[in-house]
Amino acid sequence: MPEYGGWTGRTLRVNLSSRKISVEDTIGRYKDYLGGTGIGYRVLWDEVPAGTGCFDEANKIIMGGGPLTGTSAPCSGRTSITTIFPCVYPVELVATGHMGGHWGAELKYAGWDMVIIEGKSERPVYIAILDQKVEIRDAAHLWGNGIYYATASICQELGPETQVAAIGQAGENLVRM
């Protein structure tokens, strides 16, 4: 662990348009912000132009936990997802959703504090994070089959301990909820 305990010190940035995968220093860039929500808002403030819509290529999705994620501290199993949300239409706003489970802890165990997803893929893809190995993989075989099928298929490909965060058919069809 770096001198800032609880952080791996590494943020993963995945650009779906260019298919570029890069690594950023979490501490150097985000040390003044606590957890996934704070960092998510900072990224959107710094990088997303005003007036960007939820389905625009300039929007970003920031997923991650905080310094206690992956520990046995109470309530530390939360992961935040910060983006311009579609469900507040017609005035799209920045918001954060949260999910429980092991996804955030497993991201931390793989060596990452956060994932910043940007750009827009021309075809269905998913991001496979296998510790330090990160790939953008084809997801055409998953598209339209539902979240349970997608999760089971990815776990079959990557192993039964795999944690999956998937958009499901509502996301595939750009439903605003």
**What would the pLDDT profile of 91-149 be if each residue is shown by its tens digit?**
889 999 999 999 999 999 999 999 999 999 999 999 999 999 999 999 999 999 999 99
- The Cα–Cα gap between 1 and 3 comes to 7
Residue 167 lies in a domain: yes
Residue 115 lies in a domain: yes
Residue 177 lies in a domain: no
pLDDT tens per residue across span 4-35: 678 999 999 999 999 999 999 998 888 888 88
For the beta sheet containing 93-99, the strands, ordered from the edge strand earlier in sequence to the opposite edge, are 20-25, 10-15, 114-118, 60-64, 79-85, 93-99
- Residues 81-110 as b or e (16 or more Cβ within 10 Å = b): bbbbbbeeeeebebbbeeeeeebbbbbbeb
Residue 70 lies in a domain: yes
Report residue 97 as tokens. 């959703």
Report whether 81 contacts 98 (CB < 8 A).
yes
Residue 135 lies in a domain: yes
The one-letter code for the residue type at 112 is W
Closest CA to 177 of 82, 81, 87, 89: 87
Q: Domain containing 52 — which CATH number?
A: 3.60.9.10
Report whether 90 contacts 110 (CB < 8 A).
no
pLDDT tens per residue across span 36-65: 999 999 999 999 999 999 999 999 999 999
Residue 1 lies in a domain: no
In sequence order, the 6+-apart residues with CB closer than 8 A to the CB of 91 are: none
Residue 15 lies in a domain: yes
Task: Say how many CA atoms lie within 13 Å of 168 toward its Cβ.
Answer: 7
Total domains in the chain come to 1
The whole domain housing 134 covers 10-172
User: Is pLDDT at 1 greater than 70 in this prediction?
Assistant: no
pLDDT band at residue 2 under the 50/70/90 scheme: very low
Residue 4 lies in a domain: no
